[in-house]
Chains A and B, each alone.
Chain A
Amino acid sequence: MAHARRERWIAFLMVLPSMILIAVFVYGFIGWTTTVSLSRWDGVTPDYEWAGLDNFKRLFAGGGVAAKRFSIDLWNTFFFTILFLLLCVAFGLLLAVLLDQNVKGEGIFRTIYLFPMSLSFVVTGVVWQWVFAPGAGERLRGVNALFHTLGLDAFRWRWYTDTRSIGPFHVALIPVVIAAAWQMTGYTMAMYLAGLRAIPEELREAARVDGASEFALYRRIILPLLRPITLSALIVLGHISLKIFDLVYTMTGKGPGFVTDVPGIFMFETTFQGNHYSQGAAISMIMLLMVALVIVPYLVFSLRREVEL
């Protein structure tokens, strides 16, 4: 459309407030946080005295408490992300494929698998804290109590309070991953289901006419077509996992010996409970960097293609 010059100005003015807000609250504030992370601000009153990279060095070297905790946090984030993505993609795909088989009551099943998405991570955290509460001795709780009643005492363990680890992997993360996957698997299912519905029926028919088994049909034709969806799901869920806070904070907190600690919790406690603002800012900058490494290429890629955007 050819627009009059005046109207192009009005168009610009209509988005200007939003652009200014985003410029200030996103980019300006990120710049401000960067400044804080390079300062000595360590208390309630701001102090912007230059500290160079001291706050970052304390996170990565020196063998202090902060460095130990942050190294555990990064490993926890790594394993949490891998397991969480694995569960969400595998079960999301499985449920979508099952629902795609002309099942009766599809709507009911879909509603059940997806409803956790509508809940707050705080609600999820509260409920799963109950389910995986280990209890102690004679006073067993949650799943442990259930195991005991069923005579399956061999399966009892300390769940999210367990301090054992396999290499850098803390087993206490498993219950937290289960809770997170419970909440988000419906999301991948919905994405895959939308993808499956977009595959034309003729394509399936053609393959069947050619004598392909249902299994071969999925393996050779349908799953490859779903690959872009897997990529989107991995990126959206992956970035959620990198910045996760509410769920872990409510369900377990940092855990004994930081077994369930994540950078989000470390940042929050350091900043708002410990008043170590510059240290908290440095942690948040690392979180931003991790998320940006995943999101920026994705945004550039999907906007360049302008697929249905």
Chain B
Amino acid sequence: MTRRFDPARLAIYVLLVLFGILFLVPVYVMLSTSLKTFAEVQDLSRLWGLPHNVTLESFSAAWSGIPEKGVRGLSRNLLNSVNLTIPATIISAMLGSLNGYVLSKWKFRGADVVFPLMLFGMFIPYQSVLIPLTQTLSAIGLGGTLWGLVLVHVVYGIPITTLIFRNYYAEIPNAMLEAARIDGAGILDAYWRVVFPLSLPGFVVVIIWQFTNIWNDFLFAVSILQRPALQPITVALQNLSGSQIKEWNMVMAGAILAALPTLLIYVITGRYFVRGLLAGSVKG
């Protein structure tokens, strides 16, 4: 379709660009502030300006801390986030895949009651389970540990991962499973030989979704992990931004460090990210 000049179309582009700029203001703020020196951040007449002397000193401060000011670096917390997010994501994806397989292809009696009861778990305000959760984790020796938090993310990830895989496997024709069964495959054989090899896109969606959610979690982490050395980056960033004298360039550098992993995943795998997003609204 070729179009001649059309004021309505111009208006569409103007609006789209305007909104684009508005959406990017916080990104500009983060980048420009983080690239400034502490002296320049304090110069209030240049708050919104580009940095005069671009420097990465705020990033090295955010990374390794400023010991003489008692400011802890975030490198340790970034590592905690990685150590926490990767196992929790993989385990909950595996569980979701098995659950989704059974709940879409091998419905047992009562499966249609079990599924909505499971789903409800992803909507509850987690505040309503936090007290028993912290008590239980302490009782089983996982209180205040990263593995305790991994367990928590695996458990509360069950509803969404099951939902996404159940929807995904519903698309696999039953005839393919029937064929495998005629060849004598049992329920587990059929999973490994037919369903699992077709699961890659499902796993991509679930892994992106869980990685993002677990990486970004704050409430569970701040309630369960009291020791600063164990906390993931979201909690450490909140501590950093809550300190009395705010070194804004360092705080923004920290925010960028915390945001980068999930942001990169989003930019690289946008289509799959959106699929996970839409799956969360139940009807998909």
Chain A interface (Cβ < 8 Å from any Cβ of B):
1, 3, 7-8, 10-12, 14-15, 17-19, 21-22, 25-30, 32-33, 36, 46, 91, 94-95, 98-99, 101-103, 107, 109-131, 135, 139-142, 145-146, 149, 182, 187, 190-191, 194, 228, 232-233, 236, 239, 242-243, 245-246, 249-250, 263-264, 267-268, 271-272, 277, 280-281, 283-285, 287-288, 291-292, 295-296, 298-300, 302-303, 307-309
Contacts and interface: CB of A to CB of B under 8 A. Distances in A.
Contact of A141 (B47, B216, B262, B284): B47
A132 B138 CA distance: 40
Interface stretch (B64-72, B141-149, B197-205, B267-275): B267-275
B223 to A, nearest CB: 6
Contacts of A287: 125, 127-128
Nearest to A285: B128
A111 B270 contact: yes
B132 to A, nearest CB: 4
Contact of B218 (A7, A17, A94, A120): A120
Interface string B231-257: 000110110010000001001101100
Contacts of A22: 117-118, 121, 155, 158-159
Given A22-B158, A98-B12, A283-B127, A120 B25 contact: no
Interface residues of B, number: 101
B127 A120 contact: no
10 contacts: A10-B187, A11-B102, A11-B106, A33-B132, A112-B24, A114-B273, A126-B255, A149-B48, A190-B274, A242-B125
Interface in B107-124: 108, 111-112, 114-121, 123-124
A248 B120 CA distance: 25
B209 to A, nearest CB: 11
Nearest to A91: B19
A46 B155 CA distance: 25
Contacts of A302: 282-283
Given A21-B155, A283-B127, A119 B219 contact: no
A263 to B, nearest CB: 8
Contacts of B125: 242-243, 264, 284, 287-288, 291
B278 A194 contact: yes
Given A120-B217, A128-B26, 6 more contacts: A18-B158, A98-B15, A112-B20, A121-B216, A126-B252, A285-B128
A245 B131 contact: no
B160 interface: no
Contacts of A8: 106, 108
A137 B262 CA distance: 39
B51 interface: no
Interface string B178-201: 100100001110000000000000
Contacts of A271: 130-131
B88 interface: no
Contacts, number: 280
Interface of B: 1, 9, 12-13, 15-16, 19-20, 23-26, 29-30, 33, 44-45, 47-48, 95, 98-99, 101-103, 105-106, 108, 111-112, 114-121, 123-133, 135-136, 155-156, 158-159, 162, 166-167, 170, 174, 177-178, 181, 186-188, 212, 215-219, 222-223, 234-235, 237-238, 241, 248, 251-252, 254-255, 258-259, 262-263, 265-267, 270, 273-274, 277-278, 280-284
A287 B131 CA distance: 14
A116 B283 CA distance: 23
Contacts of A295: 120, 123
A119 B167 contact: no
Given A119-B262, A127-B252, A271-B130, A146 B47 contact: yes
Contacts of B262: 118-120
A26 B120 contact: yes
A123 B255 contact: yes
Nearest to B208: A118
Nearest to B96: A18
Given A29-B133, A120-B262, A122-B218, A140 B44 contact: yes
